[in-house]
Amino acid sequence: MTDIDRKDAALGLILELVVLLSRDMAERFARDGLTDSRVHLIWELAHRGPSTQRALADALQVSARNITGLVDALVATGFVTREPHPTDRRATLVSFTKKGAAVAESLQREQKEFAQLLFGQMPTAQFDCFVDAMSAIVERIRKEMEK
């Protein structure tokens, strides 16, 4: 096996991980009646607190129209509410309902549990090395995308 093949295989592992993780998360989200995109919005909302749709569109890097649709769906299914913005009458503030806040919390808790599942039994040295390598990779992709 050449050096190039070994690196190609390593990238293959990463791509496989992407596929597996995406599937696993989608299944998990479906249990709450949620999709990837809606969870992404919920995640952002949990980290930013009540936000205008404009802020969410910028954070998720999607169109304003798209946010309208996602918020419509999340309002209809009881995860968030639209409230008038206190000072800007053009804008709306998206906030969690009780149900939405509870789901956001359990998503965060389950992410920690999942991290424990993945890394809990990994030797410290391997974990440290993995984190360093991963950081380097993320860094390199970031630079590549700036071009």
Q: Which two tokens stand for residue 21?
A: 């993780």
As a whole number of angstroms, the distance between CA 16 and CA 14 comes to 5
Which residue lies nearer to DNA by CB, 31 or 89? 89
Q: Which does 65 bind (CB under 5 to 8 A by kind): DNA, a copy of itself, none?
A: DNA
In the complex, least distance from residue 3 CB atom to DNA, rounded to whole angstroms: 34
Q: Which does 31 bind (CB under 5 to 8 A by kind): DNA, a copy of itself, none?
A: none
Other CB atoms within 10 Å distance of the CB of residue 103 = 22
- Is the CB of residue 53 less than 8 Å from the CB of residue 94? yes
With residue 95 as reference, give the H or E element that holds it.
Answer: strand 92-96
Which residue lies nearer to DNA by CB, 66 or 97? 66
- Is the CB of residue 13 less than 8 Å from the CB of residue 21? no
**Contact residues for a copy of itself, defined by CB under 8 A:** 4, 6-11, 13-18, 20-24, 27, 111-112, 114-120, 122, 125-127, 129-138, 140-142, 144-145
**Contact residues for DNA, defined by CB under 7 A:** 35-38, 52-55, 57, 61-71, 73, 82, 85, 87-92
